[in-house]
Amino acid sequence: MDTKYYTTWEEYLAEHSELEGKPEQAIAPKIVKYEDAMFTFIMDLLL
């Protein structure tokens, strides 16, 4: 998606250097889960 309102994990990681060396396998699913939850919520408002 070409949008400023949805960020992939790769894009998020690139913007957050403070996460370098942190447990990506634990952080990524959580960040992505809430990114997707917001997407679903927004789209449900139009369905």
Partner 1 sequence: MTDAIARTNERNQLFKDLFSGKTPKRVPISNPATQDFAIQYAGLDLAECQWDLTKLEPVYDKFCQDFYTDTYPGGSIRIPSHYQILGSTPIVMSSSGFMQHPDVVGMLAEEYDEFIASPYDCIVETILPRLYTEFNGPPGKVAMALAKAMKAQADDLASLGAIRAKMNAKYGFAAMVGALTEAPFDFMSDFLRSFKGISGDVRRYPDKVAAACEAVLPLMIKKGTLPNPSMLGYTFVPLHMAPYLREKDFAALYWPTFKKMVETLAGMGQSVQLFVEQDWMRYIDYLYELPENTIMRFEYGDPKLIKEKLGKKHIISGLYPVTLLQTGTKQQCVDKAKELLDILAPGGRYWWQADKSIIHLDINGPVVENLRAVLDYVHENGTY
40 CB burial (10 A radius; 0-12, 13-18, 19+): exposed
Binding of partner 1 by 43 (CB under 8 A)? yes
Q: With binding defined as CB under 8 A, does residue 30 bind partner 1?
A: no
| CB 10, min distance to partner 1, A | 16
Maximal CA-CA distance, the chain: 41
Choices 8-16, 20-28, 38-46; region in contact with partner 1 by CB under 8 A: 38-46
Is 45 one of the binding residues for partner 1 (CB under 8 A)?
Answer: yes
Q: What is the distance between the alpha carbons of residues 46 and 28, in angstroms, rounded to a whole number?
A: 28
